[in-house]
Structure 1
Amino acid sequence: MNAGEITVEFAPELRVFVGQRSNGHGHRATPVRIDGTSTLGHVVESLGIPLTEVGTLRVNGEPVATGHIPTAGETVTVAAVARPQPSPEPLRFLLDIHLGTLARRLRLLGIDAAYENPDIGDAALAARSAAERRVLLSRDRGLLRRREIYSGAYVYSHQPAEQLDDVLSRFAPRLAPWTRCTSCNGQLRAAAREAVRAHLPDNTGDSYDSFAQCVECGQTYWKGAHHARLDAIVADAVAKYA
């Protein structure tokens, strides 16, 4: 059944998902046909916007829930999610196979960031998000539309540095640099040189004094050649978001 038409206005932050023209107030507006039975949440998703990215929904200026059934003539305003976004505690993330660099950078900052590699499929990712109460980070809109996920967020950029800024500004997680294994997400503990010497390349044990080891996978860390680059990532994040 064709029940008429509504006007939907999108916040500027959501223009990556939709391509309609602006209404002159910074929002993007488009006429949308409705069937009289579909919820407003379904209508918004059908236009390409994951509900994970939607903040307040308003109909003719009044806030409504995603379960609202729109009727002909209504004007709907779709706001972007607020930043910082209220987050569950403890805040834990799950990243899909395309976000490996972001996962390592989050772990570098001491943030619990599980990462699936190889790809286990959308259904298994969604199930893990629900079972472990993890916020699913992805650039896959279809994955974020799965009803079973615990919580989710679209990662807007292809660039790791911008991705990290995106997540930190949105969720404002507590930072604890150098406390988590970038390889497996386990916790790090200080380690004596002799205790880890067997895990070190030749002469490394004689060149460095400070070591840490992952309690889960045994990976050993020290301030080697790449430390300056990693320290710059940490310093930038701490300066902006700590």
Structure 2
Amino acid sequence: MNGPEIHVEFDPELALFVPNTRRRGATRLAIDGVSTLGHVIESVGVPLTEVGALVVDGHEVPTAHIPKDGESVHVRAVERPQRVPGAPLRFLLDVHLGTLARRLRLLGVDTAYESTDIGDPALAARSAAERRVMLSRDRGLLRRRELWAGAFVYSTRPETQLRDVLDRFRPELRPWTRCTACNGLLKEATKEEVADQLEGGTQRTYDVFAQCTECGRAYWKGAHHEQLVAIVEDALSMRTQDG
């Protein structure tokens, strides 16, 4: 490189996004004297949703900082737990994260989910309009400026995805209060109120039901209840360990 450049070191947690040739120690990046530090970092492949503090020559700077020739930059990973401005904490998941969406809803976390691919612009617009944290494995989506907030989902395994989201955001958990199908709130229901959704064996075996106030779906402690209990207990144990 013959032009101006900066020396950049990324936290190990960000190695996934950095090309192999730049993962060890500090790397040199060209600058043009006009682009922001945030733009320079994103040009390497690191979404700003995953970036915490930016430290230039020992001083923290904003993403809008215009880097100067010779500066040393330390790019830190986002701190955990991550504090998101505004309340309550709500999520939006793209089409590839259906299982994670259902598990977050099982825990009572307000989770919107798009079951079809509506495109990045529409997802980013919904995130902004509803003030929801966009969860995705699509780095391009997470780079969209319209997003209200976002986070990269690092794993492809639903159980690991869930634990990572819970560790990163520490949302309030209220298990068994939301519909896993539509995110609506549940209410207690009598057998008569949900009778049209029950087969004969279920009618004879179960007496305690809940029903979604939005879509009307009925819930009871069926064959998969133990698996769901295990997911809930694991999440609650994480919260206990966090103190």
Query: Percent identity of the aligned residues?
Result: 65
Q: Kindly report which structure 2 residues correspond to 1:5-44, keeping only aligned pairs within 5 A, or say none.
A: 5-18=5-18, 19=20, 20-23=22-25, 29-44=26-41
Unaligned runs of 5+ in 2: none
Q: Hey, what does 1:119 align to over in structure 2?
A: 117
- 1:196 and 1:140 map into 2 onto residues whose CA distance is 39
- 1:42 and 1:239 map into 2 onto residues whose CA distance is 40
Q: Hey, what does 1:67 align to over in structure 2?
A: 64
Could you say what secondary structure the match of 2:200 adopts?
coil
Q: Kindly report which structure 2 residues correspond to 1:25-174, keeping only aligned pairs within 5 A, or say none.
A: 29-87=26-84, 88-174=86-172
The C-alpha deviation readout for 1:25-77, integer Å capped at 9, x for no partner, is xxxx2111111111000000001011010000011111001011111111100
Amino acid at match of 1:116: E
The C-alpha deviation readout for 1:104-154, integer Å capped at 9, x for no partner, is 000000001000011110010001001000000000011011001111000
Could you say what secondary structure the match of 2:193 adopts?
helix
1:203 shift after superposition: 2.1
Is the 2:13–2:77 Cα contact (8 Å) retained in structure 1? yes
- 2:3 and 2:170 map into 1 onto residues whose CA distance is 43
- 2:193 and 2:201 map into 1 onto residues whose CA distance is 15
- 2:200 and 2:43 map into 1 onto residues whose CA distance is 58
1:238 shift after superposition: 0.5
Is the 2:56–2:74 Cα contact (8 Å) retained in structure 1? yes
Unaligned runs of 5+ in 1: 24-28
Q: Hey, what does 2:214 align to over in structure 1?
A: 216
Amino acid at match of 1:176: R
- 1:93 and 1:209 map into 2 onto residues whose CA distance is 33
1:206 shift after superposition: 1.4
1:209 shift after superposition: 1.7
Amino acid at match of 1:66: T
Q: What TM-score, normalized by structure 1, do the two folds share?
A: 0.95
Is the 1:3–1:71 Cα contact (8 Å) retained in structure 2? no
1:21 shift after superposition: 3.8
- 1:107 and 1:203 map into 2 onto residues whose CA distance is 27
- 1:206 and 1:45 map into 2 onto residues whose CA distance is 59
Q: Hey, what does 2:181 align to over in structure 1?
A: 183
Q: What TM-score, normalized by structure 2, do the two folds share?
A: 0.95
- 2:14 and 2:200 map into 1 onto residues whose CA distance is 52
1:196 shift after superposition: 1.0
- 2:112 and 2:51 map into 1 onto residues whose CA distance is 24
